[in-house]
Structure 1
Amino acid sequence: MFRQISRRWKQYRYRFVPWVATNINESAPRIVPSVYEDKIVADAEVEKCLLSLLTAFHKSGKQHATLTAKHVEHTKLMLGECGFSIKRRPSLLENGGRGVFVASGHVRPGSVVAVYPGMVYHPWEPVFWVSLANSFLFRCADGVHIDGKDTGLSKMMYNSCSKRDSVHGKLMCDTTWLTETPVNPLAVGQYVNNQSNKYEANVAYQEFDISSDFPVELRQYIPNTEARLHQDMEHTFYNRLLRVVVLVSLRDITVGEEIFSTYYTIVQKDKSVS
């Protein structure tokens, strides 16, 4: 029992703000001048990458195929469009659980490597219950949280909200990231492990807001939706920005390498930690 608790704590502590604050030197945070300068690549490049890849998925002709067939086909399309593909498998880190690896191809610097999927909670929305024993709760610089846990209450909440936002029976977000074969192979960012003394970060998180004019037919591949626990009936997802977090490569990453990030960033000007 103690060994199991210890293993869970080692995975969770990098998400526990008091531990982060008292162990800041151990964790090698990423430091940026301000929230506005925390961009590895321009937002326009992120949008261009997503549009190109998701359009290829939509045109693949696999709309009525099985989930596994879609995953396999879309992974091949990702290799063709992006020059690489990724997959989950046991991490190189001790007690690291599963990690994300470059399965084929070659990742160039400034590439969108993965997307952090999950439910988006605004700062005024409670996250206490979903945060319990949850090592997949990502906090953005502005207090927005993304819950990337794919089991338990988090999974149930996401599935419920995805159905709430459906239009004419069509989902406006992707729910397959909750399975082992997501139709969007990028949607495994929550499994990227924190860097260590042996393995330095080769990607960094970048916040990106999807605008209201993002093609509706491509939203089914976006693995994020808003909780909107206090529904504003005057505003729908059509005229709202949707927060998405992408993982962008900091250097060349070759086939077989595990992807590592740093779990938090120090923003110097406003002294916030995300």
Structure 2
Amino acid sequence: MATLRKIWEAFRGVDRRKMQFEIDIHRLFLLTSYHRQGSESLDALGELGVKLSSEEQQRVVQDNVHKQVTHIGESLDDILLPEPQCKMPAPDACKKPSGLSFAVGSRAPMTDELETLVPVETCPLTLSEVSTALRNRIGYTLDLRPSQVEHEDAGAGVFLVGEAEPGSVVSIYPGVVYSPPQYRYMRGYPRMDVVNSYLVSRYDGLIIDGQPWGHGGESRELWDGSSATATDLSTNSTSALPAPTNPENKRARLWGTLFGAKEAFSARKGSILERRNPLALAHFINHPGKGKQPNVMLCPYDFVFTNSNLRPYIPNVHFDEDADWEVRRRGLLWMYDKKGEKTMTRSAVVRTLVLVSTKEVCNEELFLNYRLSNHQKWPAWYTPIDSEEDKRRWH
């Protein structure tokens, strides 16, 4: 008992949620670096991962993911843009690094470039045709089919068609991004999860609502976060989560009144987005059923506007500008460089989540560990994968 008491005293001051985040970052560092460097670097990567701080590992993960997202965007440009001169130039960040130099390298300088709202002409291809063409270029794409999870609420699942190596960016979580001060504008606040099962949160507190994106679309268009209709999603249910309930019930209105909910509206500023992005389906990925294991994990990704041509393939818009929250979250000095000049504005960054494969995936359904809180009653379909991870996630 004395030993257990000492251990408990040692861990009382530990932020277990932050600990789990750093564990996830270390895993993402190894996976994405393996994808970038190859198996010959495994030992060196393991040694480097021990030496680098969590913040340095986060920077490496961002660079690795950005390289893959850039490659995906270039591939989609090859498919969708009819004129070669319209296609995005290959940025310097895509050049192959020597050895492990990428781990301590620097990202291209952040810019204050505004999003362009001028659409370009694209080839008249359907989402299905774009999906097939993307598989021919990068080796895989995604498809919606009846899930293999043996539960009546499973609905459809997301299947990877083709082959993806460990550490591959296989999907992007689309939708509207809300910062904590903007939660009250979300439908059903403060019980948003009761009326919407397509929500996911990042470690920094941002919530992405995938419901408005729906199944995507058949064109490149100005998208401001306008919702897909309830029928669009319920007709071909693609989530293992319970179907959304009617938000206009008395209990929802009462909760909203008590906690200061405000009337929701679409994102104030839209962007020209490619609704035919075949990988923008992460909000439909199921939690694994009994006897199955997750084969993807969430990875925070901040898209910086170093190349505006890539913007249409990031299927997210921010609900509204919230510079005050950014300053509170990261500190006033974040807004300025060493010369005292402003370095970044909200319009220069889109914060989202991508899903990274944790193993080799070949023609199979994708599964994500939902890590539901143990402080609430679990749905009948939910089986915890790692209870200790769940506890740390919600500590």
TM-score by length of 1: 0.69
CA distance in structure 1 between the partners assigned to 2:181 and 2:388 by the alignment:
21
Q: Which residue of 2 aligns with 1:27?
A: none
The structure-2 alpha-carbon separation of the partners of 1:139 and 1:81, relative to structure 1 and needing over 3 Å to count, comes to same
Q: Say whether 1:57 aligns with 2:81.
A: no
The percent of aligned pairs where both chains have the same amino acid is: 26
Answer yes or no: is the 8 Å Cα contact 2:213–2:225 preserved in 1: no
Secondary structure of the 1:125 match is: helix
Taking only aligned residues, the RMSD between alpha carbons, in angstroms, comes to: 3.1
Residues 131-210 of structure 1: pairs in structure 2 closer than 5 A: 131=192, 132-150=194-212, 158-159=225-226, 161=266, 164-166=269-271, 171=272, 173-174=273-274, 176=275, 183-210=276-303
CA distance in structure 2 between the partners assigned to 1:163 and 1:78 by the alignment:
31
Q: CA deviation at 1:254?
A: 1.6
The structure-2 alpha-carbon separation of the partners of 1:225 and 1:151, relative to structure 1 and needing over 3 Å to count, comes to closer
Answer yes or no: is the 8 Å Cα contact 2:293–2:367 preserved in 1: yes
Structure 1 unaligned blocks of 5 or more: 1-30, 177-182
Q: CA deviation at 1:272?
A: 4.3
Q: CA deviation at 1:236?
A: 5.3
1:48-95 CA distance string (max 9 Å, x none): 1111111222233354344xx242343234213321121011111112
Query: Normalized per residue, which structure has more strand?
Result: 1
Answer yes or no: is the 8 Å Cα contact 2:267–2:319 preserved in 1: no
Give 1:78's aligned amino acid: L
Answer yes or no: is the 8 Å Cα contact 1:90–1:97 preserved in 2: yes
Q: CA deviation at 1:150?
A: 3.2
Q: CA deviation at 1:206?
A: 0.6
CA distance in structure 2 between the partners assigned to 1:101 and 1:230 by the alignment:
36
Structure 2 unaligned blocks of 5 or more: 1-19, 33-60, 83-120, 215-222, 227-264, 325-341, 373-386
Secondary structure of the 2:75 match is: helix
CA distance in structure 2 between the partners assigned to 1:252 and 1:142 by the alignment:
29
Answer yes or no: is the 8 Å Cα contact 2:198–2:283 preserved in 1: yes
CA distance in structure 2 between the partners assigned to 1:237 and 1:87 by the alignment:
33
CA distance in structure 1 between the partners assigned to 2:288 and 2:200 by the alignment:
16
The structure-2 alpha-carbon separation of the partners of 1:238 and 1:51, relative to structure 1 and needing over 3 Å to count, comes to same
Q: Say whether 1:227 aligns with 2:246.
A: no
1:127-146 CA distance string (max 9 Å, x none): 54252411111011111100
Give 1:101's aligned amino acid: F
Greater alpha carbon shift after TM alignment, 201-210 vs 51-60: 51-60
The structure-2 alpha-carbon separation of the partners of 1:77 and 1:150, relative to structure 1 and needing over 3 Å to count, comes to same
Q: Say whether 1:124 aligns with 2:181.
A: yes
Q: Which residue of 2 aligns with 1:180?
A: none
The structure-2 alpha-carbon separation of the partners of 1:253 and 1:108, relative to structure 1 and needing over 3 Å to count, comes to same
The structure-2 alpha-carbon separation of the partners of 1:162 and 1:76, relative to structure 1 and needing over 3 Å to count, comes to farther
Secondary structure of the 1:225 match is: strand
CA distance in structure 1 between the partners assigned to 2:292 and 2:129 by the alignment:
31
**Corresponding residue pairs, total:** 221
Give 2:278's aligned amino acid: P
Greater alpha carbon shift after TM alignment, 57-66 vs 204-213: 57-66
1:228-264 CA distance string (max 9 Å, x none): 16588x985443x321111111111121x11101013
Structure possessing the higher relative contact order (Cα contacts under 8 Å, 6 or more residues apart): 1
CA distance in structure 2 between the partners assigned to 1:55 and 1:212 by the alignment:
15
Answer yes or no: is the 8 Å Cα contact 2:225–2:270 preserved in 1: no
CA distance in structure 2 between the partners assigned to 1:251 and 1:82 by the alignment:
17
Query: Normalized per residue, which structure has more helix?
Result: 2
TM-score by length of 2: 0.49
Q: Which residue of 1 aligns with 2:332?
A: none
Answer yes or no: is the 8 Å Cα contact 1:116–1:190 preserved in 2: yes
CA distance in structure 2 between the partners assigned to 1:32 and 1:126 by the alignment:
22
Secondary structure of the 2:360 match is: coil
Give runs of ≥4 in structure 1 deviating > 6 Å: 265-268
Give 1:219's aligned amino acid: R
Greater alpha carbon shift after TM alignment, 73-82 vs 243-252: 73-82
Answer with 1 or 2: which has the greater Rg. Answer: 2
1:81-124 CA distance string (max 9 Å, x none): 32112101111111211110122x21211111111111111122
